[in-house]
Amino acid sequence: MVNIFFIHRFPFTKDAFIRDEFEYFTSKGYNVRYLDVSHLLKKKKLEANTPDYIQEYVIHFDTKKAFANFLIANAANSLIVSDVGLLLNSAWMYLAVFKAGVPHVAFENSVMPKVRTKTTVKEGKLKVIKHLKRFNYTKIYNKPIELVDYLRAKKHLQPAIMAITSRKKLNAEKKVLCSKETNIRYSMSLDYKIARQVNESRIIEEDYAVFVDQYFNHHPDFKTNHIVHYFTAEQYYPELNKFLHAFSRATGLKVVIASHPRRNSEQEKDFDSDFELFYNQTAPLIKDAKVSLIHFSTAINFAVLFNKPFILLTSDLFKRSSIESNIEMFASYFEKKPLNLSNYNQELIVTDIDASINKVKYEEFIRDYIKHPKAKDETFRQQIECALQLAGFT
């Protein structure tokens, strides 16, 4: 039996189960498993919101050695598919992959675009702050080891048999995994494919606005300080709820929440009970909304693809954070003025909002970040099936 092993930086979720086509590949007779090395990559135990019915598909590893031994024992007839790039903190993983001789596929899907070409002074400071916030002696102690592993991984590199990307250029950490022999598949992003599958029927009949929930303060990127921030959930959600009520009163629009897929039932209490939460419905909700309210989520992809207006929301709470930087990035690209949750005039809220559509920017954004001009009309499953052929498994 051929094994397909998926590896991501986070614990296994229903979203990954669906996105990575577990049911389809299992139905075709493949042994499909999620190799959970998230805490080894993140150096911190992350909350796993894995439903019981998909627990059988995940294999947890407590140590790097256990992971390496597993690959060696299962090297025959196996393919690894991962969106983890080759970095200092992942070099150990790729050393194990290369040593076992398991063919691998590198892919990028629905990743945050970097629309600026130059690093600003503010971005430079944020990088320094991020490193300081994530500082601990264990990491410093391990840095020389990680650097050695990285150099060894580059020296003993076994190039990816395929790389899948919707970008004009692969990210550096994915590009380093490739060679001239790597089959580069220019792709439509996952969001593009999802948007095409949305049917015409509406979830909500009345006019509404949708807020795109980014799971602030609970998301693993907050726990690991990957997102630089200086506020708590107890500060953020009351301010957000107050604004959403004001926005609804000023515009006459019902406000609903496109909930982050990782949010659990207990955390639903972050939002006032007046706001209905919807899970795994972000694309259809944005398609039919009068306007979307967004911080810096990749859900902007859906607003662009459906040619719908969106409003960027910022806050005084975000000052000096990477959240502020990312919002400013989108504001600059789409030539929009963000609306501040901390400081707005309810009487003027309708005239203050910038819900315009810049069609030229929308088309440019699709071309640069959502659907590569050379992309073939193929699904993720077709791409992986092609990789299986390249590996000699079909």
Structure tokens at 31: 């042994």
Mind listing the domains of the chain with CATH numbers?
3-131+156-188+372-390 (3.40.50.11190), 197-370 (3.40.50.2000)
Amino acid identity for residue 139 in this structure: K
Report yes or no: 171 and 111 within 8 Å, Cβ to Cβ. Answer: yes
- Look at residue 348 in the predicted model and tell me its pLDDT: 58
* Token couple for 386: 């092609």
What angle (nearest 5°) sits at the alpha carbon of residue 336, between those of residues 333 and 342?
Answer: 125
Q: Per-residue confidence of the chain (394 residues) as pLDDT tens digits? A: 999 999 999 899 888 898 899 999 999 999 999 999 999 997 777 777 788 999 999 999 999 999 999 999 999 999 999 999 999 999 999 999 999 999 999 998 655 566 554 555 555 554 544 444 444 444 445 578 899 999 999 999 999 999 998 877 788 899 999 999 999 998 888 888 889 889 889 999 999 999 999 988 877 666 665 666 678 889 999 999 999 999 999 889 999 999 998 888 778 889 999 999 999 899 999 999 999 999 988 899 999 999 999 999 999 999 878 888 889 999 999 988 899 999 876 655 665 565 678 899 999 998 888 888 888 888 889 999 999 999 999 7
Q: In what order do the strands lie in the sheet with 339-340?
A: 276-279, 254-259, 208-212, 291-294, 310-314, 339-340
pLDDT, position 143? 73
pLDDT of residue 315: 94
Phi-psi group of 99: left, alpha or beta (phi > 0 → left; psi -120 to 50 → alpha; rest → beta): alpha
Please name the amino acid found at residue 380: F
**pTM exceeds 0.85, yes or no:** no
Among 29, 113, 122, CA closest to 325 = 122
**Distance between CA atoms of residues 250 and 245, nearest Å:** 9
Q: Using CA of residue 260, residue 303, residue 372, residue 26, what is the dihedral sign? A: positive
Note the pLDDT of residue 131.
Answer: 46
Burial of 373 (0-12, 13-18, 19+ CB in 10 A): exposed
Contacts of 334 (CB under 8 A, 6+ apart): 312, 358, 361, 365
Per-residue pLDDT, 232: 87
Q: Which amino acid is at 249?
A: R
Taking each helix axis as running N to C, give the angle between helix 64-73 and helix 91-100, from 0 to 180 degrees, rounded to the nearest 10.
Answer: 20
pLDDT of residue 325: 86
